[in-house]
Amino acid sequence: MSETRPIHYKIHLEPDLAKFQFSGKVELRLEVPTLASEVSLNILDLAIWKCRLMDQGREEICGFSVDPLKEELRILFPRAVSGEVAVAIDYVGEINNRMAGFYRSRSVNNGREKYAAVTQFEESDARRAFPCLDHPRMKATFEVEMVVERGLTALSNTAVAEEKPLEDGRKLVRFEKTPKMSTYLVFFGVGEFEFIQDPGEVLLRVAAVPGRVEQGKYSLEFLRKALTYCEGYYGIPYPLSKLDLIAIADFAFGAMENWGAITFRENLVLHDPDSTSKAGEERMCVVIAHELAHQWFGNLVTPEDWKYLWLNESFATFFGYGVVDHYYPEWELWEHFLQGQTETAMDRDALHETFAIEIPGGEHVVINASTAPIIYNKGGSVLRQVEGYVGKEAFREGLRLYLRTYQYGCASSHDLWEALEKVSAKPVSAMMSNWIGQPGFPMVTVEREGGCLRLSQERFTYLSAPSEQEWLIPITVRVFYGDGQTRTTSTLLESKSTLLDIGADALAYKVNDGQSGFYRVQYRDEHNLRELGKQVSGGALPSVDRWGIQDDLYAMVKRGDATLEEYLEFLSHYSGEKASLPLSSIAANLQHAFILGEGHVRERVSAMGRTLFEKVLEAIGYEPTDRERHTTSILRDQILWQAALFGSNKAEEFCRDRFSLLLKDQKVPPDIQKSVMQVGAACGGRETFEWFVGKMKSSESEHERMNMLVAVGCFKDPEVLDRVKRYVLEEVPDRNKFVPIGVLSENLAAIPFLWDWYRANLQVLERFHPVHYERVIAALVPICGLGREEEVRNFFQDYRDKQEKLKDVINLSLERLEIHSRLRRSWKSL
């Protein structure tokens, strides 16, 4: 059945930053396939003045009605019309403070408070700024014009076509027509923006509030490199004449891929040499590359429906790492991908309360604490598996074919698989249908049967339950032999179980060689696990495989198929470990066990972590050096805090000494700033807290402020923690309130009171940005509900019925609570 579709929008806006209001007029040309007496558009929080039908220079007044619940504007034509139809709508709206739609962003520069008005439309908030058909497949062209104060700068997706003064002291800024695109990618903004730029065939710019734009040089230099890579890899030039990276003070997410006008949190695009760490630089580059990849995956080729949103986010996640790795291979980005993306995805997808990558429904998909790890992290990890299956060259050529075929249009998952199959001649669609079309992921169980391995699959969940699900799993095995030789063999597991010949003389075997497969591995042969431990300690395995063995083993602990003692004993093989990836994973796993454990279990975990991390710190040094590896710098900042948390006097004394320099207004290296601040807070009292409050107000660096927000969640003093609770809700900017709350949820001194604090401040927390409030629930409930499980479940039984949009995050949080409760009970007997 054909449907009414948009052809072109002309949007006129007059924002008033003094009153936080705007007036607007949209002229919309539509293609109406059959005679119709009305048309429905999406609208939210806008007041409509009048609607008109435009026909050959004539204007005819239309009736209209607004349904707030359906977010719908019905325009009633004076007569039935069809074909190309033009309507004009006058309206007014609020420049709101919700970080959605057309909203205000507050910044402070040299003590002066300033506001900008900017937009954030994904997934479906364009309707808050102009009446539209607010769905990704409803692509059209756009012309935007704004009337603003002469001292302000207006920005949009495209370059300025015309700027002229008006008699009332304002100016009209008109922008070039856009390519055909979706409403969620439209951007417009106005404020006191300054630019630095890199002229070229495509003009590249960084925009920021006055006084900060010079901090955009690092991002601008990387953007030029990344654009060169993307244009070469995808085989299609970037289609606009300019591309802006825009720093926004108040921003709910990390960044947003608006075509030609990418918006960011300040700390993800502005580089401060005094507080941006190596980890911060890496994060900036990955996010810039992620958003740049969207200019092709999402903007040029758009998902046909929201269920195919993964075609945007999974590719952007994948290329966010791939682009950076191309220019900085020494950063070992694909190793960081395993811990940051694959591990995060597996931990989320190991719950019964999960989703398929291709989320069913289609009309609306909310990116939140429940869905994001699946759409972004799991999707990117599965694409890495696909690349390994078809080969790098076939993968690239398949993507080029896909982009050429569907540019300026819409596509589905099937369209992608078809392109990859055509190039690779492999059954990609058959393999991928169960990876993206069903929830969960597999565990491959491995048993030795003479000279063969019995490989069996089942769905991996922490709370085990029968499942008939199957996947087509590409499996690669590294086999070790007694003479020191190794051999790699591969198979495609197409059923519940299969045999793989490795030879009777095989000494040991490592399944998922290189960790490219998205599955857990369980070894039923204890002798093999012992032999793999020897390979770990002897350095015969690459760091990715050393990571995979211990991380899979800890996953089995969480599932109940291995004991915590078995995991801690296996870690003895890592006593000489120097690589960042396995050590970062071990640190995360030990902290998880430390928080859940009690009494002697916590002491045992602390002793293990303290011994291991002190040894690592002695080897790499407590103080950063100019010529050390990028990965070493990132690792130190993590394990300095971990070592102190686990009771290392050396680590604590070092951090307290460096923190004393900060109290004297002296500097510490950016690569240890966060851990030094964390330890300083953990050891500090009221005066230390007041220093953080004052420093937070005076700091001009969002990187430094983020470090301080993490640190204030680490205080242990009960009186100070009471002050922290009030400070977070009353003084921390809305965009960042969730940050210290997440840290508090892992602070042993804070955990006992956080559930009561949550209940007492429920109405305040509910006013957070929806995504931030979901993060609060996901952080607090699984840990702070321990010991009061029945009370927590009873509360959410009623609350979930009243808050339908929170159902998914509540369910996953309660399931995590159940997993943690079971683990804590089982560890009491250790």
Residue pLDDT, tens place only, 174-197: 999 999 999 999 999 999 999 999
Quote the distance between the C-alpha of residue 573 and its chain's center. 33
pLDDT computed for residue 523 by the predictor: 97
**Was domain 301-436 assigned CATH 2.40.110.10?**
no
Task: List the catalytic residue out of 291, 397, 418, 458.
Answer: 291
For residue 677 the two structure tokens come to 């601040």
Sign (positive or negative) of CA dihedral 589, 321, 196, 169: negative
Checking if the pLDDT of 365 tops 70, the result is: no
CA distance 673 to 677: 6
Checking if the pLDDT of 682 tops 80, the result is: yes
Half-sphere exposure of 495 (CA within 13 A, CB side): 4
Running DSSP on this structure, what letter comes out for residue 110?
Answer: T
Q: How many other CB atoms sit within 10 Å of the CB of residue 278?
A: 21
pLDDT tens column, 442-458 = 999 999 999 999 999 99
Checking if the pLDDT of 364 tops 80, the result is: no
Rounded to 5°, the CA angle 286-436-227 comes to 25
Checking if the pLDDT of 829 tops 90, the result is: no
Crossing angle of helices 392-406 and 217-234, rounded to 10° = 90
pLDDT tens column, 784-814 = 999 999 999 999 999 998 998 899 999 999 9
CA distance 629 to 632: 5
Q: Where are the beta strands (DSSP E) in 199-274?
A: 203-208, 242-248, 255-256, 261-265
Asked if 189 and 115 touch (Cβ cutoff 8 Å), the reply is no
Asked if 11 and 143 touch (Cβ cutoff 8 Å), the reply is yes
CA distance 690 to 437: 52
Give strand pairing partners of 146.
13, 173
User: Which burial class, exposed, middle or buried, applies to 656 when counting CB atoms under 10 A from its CB (0-12, 13-18, 19+)?
Assistant: middle
Asked if 264 and 195 touch (Cβ cutoff 8 Å), the reply is no
For residue 423 the two structure tokens come to 């190039």
Of 808, 733, 734, nearest in space to 778 by CA: 808
Give strand pairing partners of 621.
none
pLDDT computed for residue 804 by the predictor: 87
Give kind and range of the element (H or E) at residue 359.
none
For residue 161 the two structure tokens come to 């076509």
Checking if the pLDDT of 362 tops 70, the result is: no
Instruction: Work out the pLDDT band at 368, boundaries 50, 70, 90.
Output: confident
Task: Quote the longest CA-to-CA distance of the chain.
Answer: 90
Checking if the pLDDT of 315 tops 90, the result is: yes
CA distance 814 to 809: 9
Ordered by start, the domain boundaries in the chain are 301-436, 713-830
pLDDT tens column, 10-39 = 999 999 999 999 999 999 999 999 999 999
Half-sphere exposure of 600 (CA within 13 A, CB side): 5
CA distance 25 to 87: 10
pLDDT computed for residue 361 by the predictor: 65
Asked if 147 and 171 touch (Cβ cutoff 8 Å), the reply is yes
CA distance 4 to 77: 14
pLDDT tens column, 455-488 = 999 999 999 888 999 999 999 999 999 888 999 9
Q: What is the mean pLDDT of residues 606-628?
A: 97
Asked if 609 and 638 touch (Cβ cutoff 8 Å), the reply is no
CA distance 95 to 45: 10
CA distance 652 to 640: 8
CB proximity list for 350: less than 8 A, separation 6 or greater: 440, 441, 460, 461, 462, 555, 558, 559
User: Which burial class, exposed, middle or buried, applies to 244 when counting CB atoms under 10 A from its CB (0-12, 13-18, 19+)?
Assistant: buried
Instruction: Name the percent of the chain lying above pLDDT 70.
Output: 99
Please say if 38 is a catalytic residue: no
CA-to-CA dists, residue 356 to 344, 433, 631, angstroms: 15, 10, 33
Which has more pLDDT, 158 or 431?
A: 158
Checking if the pLDDT of 1 tops 50, the result is: no
Which has more pLDDT, 58 or 225?
A: 225
For residue 56 the two structure tokens come to 């050959």
Of 540, 489, 537, nearest in space to 513 by CA: 489
Running DSSP on this structure, what letter comes out for residue 338?
Answer: I
Asked if 667 and 699 touch (Cβ cutoff 8 Å), the reply is no
Of 271, 267, 262, 221, nearest in space to 243 by CA: 262
Which stretches of 173-248 are DSSP H helices?
217-234
- Residue type, position 134, single letter: D
CA distance 722 to 730: 13
pLDDT computed for residue 369 by the predictor: 80
Radius of gyration of the chain (CA): 28
Asked if 312 and 359 touch (Cβ cutoff 8 Å), the reply is no
